[in-house]
Amino acid sequence: MTNRIRTLSPSTNKVIFEHPGTSLDQVRGIVQASQDAFRTFKELCLEERKLIVVKALDIIDANKETLAQELSLQMGRPISYTAGEITTMRKRADYLLGIADDSLKTIPGQPEGGFKRFVKKEPVGPVLLATAWNYPYLITINALVPALLAGNSVILRPSPQTPLFGERLVSYFNQAGLPTNVLQLIHTGSLDVLDEIAKLPQIKLVSFVGSTAGGIRLRQATASRIVPLNLELGGKDPAYVRADADLAYVAAQVVDGAVFNSGQSCCSIERVYVHADVHDAFVAEVQKELQTYKLGNPMDRTTTTGPVISQQAVKNIQAQIADALAKGAVDATPHNATFDAPPPDGNYLAPKVLTNVSHEMLVMREETFGPVLPIMMVSGDDEAVARMNSSDYGLTASVWTKDIQAGEALIERIEAGTVFINRCDYPSPDLAWIGWKNSGMGCSLGPQGFDAFYKLKSFHIREKQG
């Protein structure tokens, strides 16, 4: 049960960070310190907490370019895009700051002479926040801001692939005046150790973003005690292109939704259903769009697509492609010189277009988490909806059509936490981000973004005896 972290840059496969890992004995001390810090931090008023968070965000903004470079180094997203994650993070944080007062205010009971009744929202206590590597700033801010504003202490476990992000975040919040031990960092490269941490009785909430398998493990690890879990898990997100769609526009959007970040997003488009009347024309537009992409070194500002996260990821993605081809899929990837000659040392995998696919293929059923675009012909709306719902996942889904009324009727029938028309791959800060089926439990963002981070306490007071 080794805890050791050895982070390889996906663009070079060279070691960029090593850490022995936080031992369980060290974790027990950290958790106890978190509980002690919570007792005083919860007494700090909301306005003071908000000022600390804003100051920390300002420090992050001031270091945006350095953080963007580090992020590209750690997880391989092209440098042209990584600063955008931090910009978007600030927008999300500002939204959460803006709704904090309403989200955390006391709820009055019905008026009655001689009585006071109300419901207070109390912080839950020390929170274990385990984040993922693919969008570490965005993912973490969704939980960290409401957790701190509600008055909780936080133990952050960054992904072993983006450990520098965790180091920076804790440092900046401490610089901003966050009281000692309110935000602490642990490093672990072991899911077994993470399970043991979640079992500690001082941990009062586990907020996890990662694979569905990881979420199930945490549910099993905490099954012997009553502790809430907030889980954002995997996806197999579908898109449906209707016959009336503007094919050139939709192809550009769908390719971006499938290939951005090398397809490494829980809400990436991973399967596309296209009306038979426009199937061939749509595939041609997709091919045309992909000819404008550039696979290469993420530190090159002309690169649009960098490496995937690891050699194991390459093998997993290639296995799905091989399974599909063996079962009759057609490789419809267009010629692109950069796809044929990637840099030699990293985990480079060219975007892949597959047609003649079916649900017997792994690429249409299992999460791919890579730049693969399988396209399946359907006869019409009813078949499309049935195919879209034929999945164990339910994070997002999109319908592409000029007929908005017809599109709205379709998305009412789709089993997913977020449904789009003529858009995809966009968690809006003012809407709940929530997974159906095996894609999650609980939610972040939106008006409910604080709900996981407080517990309710009802006060029922008779003002006089007798």
Q: Which two tokens stand for residue 385?
A: 């909806």
- Are 182 and 41 contacting, i.e. CB atoms less than 8 angstroms apart? yes
Distances (CA, A) of 343 to 17, 118, 121, 371, 403: 22, 63, 53, 17, 44
* H/E run at residue 196: helix 191-199
Rg (CA), the chain: 23
CA dist., res. 442 & res. 426, Å (int): 18
b/e per residue 225-234 (b: at least 16 CB within 10 A): eebbbbbbbb
Distances (CA, A) of 88 to 82, 164, 395: 10, 19, 20
- Are 295 and 305 contacting, i.e. CB atoms less than 8 angstroms apart? yes
Q: Provide φ and ψ at 324, rounded to 5°.
A: -65, -45
Which candidate in 70, 85, 232, 367 is catalytic?
Answer: 232
Helix 163-175 with 136-149: angle, nearest 10 deg: 40
367 is known as an active-site residue: no
CA dist., res. 402 & res. 245, Å (int): 6
CA dist., res. 155 & res. 129, Å (int): 6
Residue found by looking up tokens 């000022």 in the block: 51
Q: Is the dihedral of CA 4, 7, 13, 16 positive or negative?
A: negative
CA dist., res. 89 & res. 401, Å (int): 30
b/e per residue 13-40 (b: at least 16 CB within 10 A): eeeebebebbeeeebeebbebbbebbee
* H/E run at residue 462: strand 454-462
b/e per residue 309-346 (b: at least 16 CB within 10 A): bbeebbebbeebbeebbeeebeebbbebebbeebbeeb
* Dihedral, 331, 333, 338, 343 alpha carbons, nearest 10: -40
Q: Which long-range contacts (CB under 8 A, 24 or more apart) does 406-410 make?
A: 406/242, 406/381, 407/242, 410/240, 410/381, 410/384, 410/385
CA dist., res. 217 & res. 208, Å (int): 11
Q: Which residues are catalytic?
A: 232
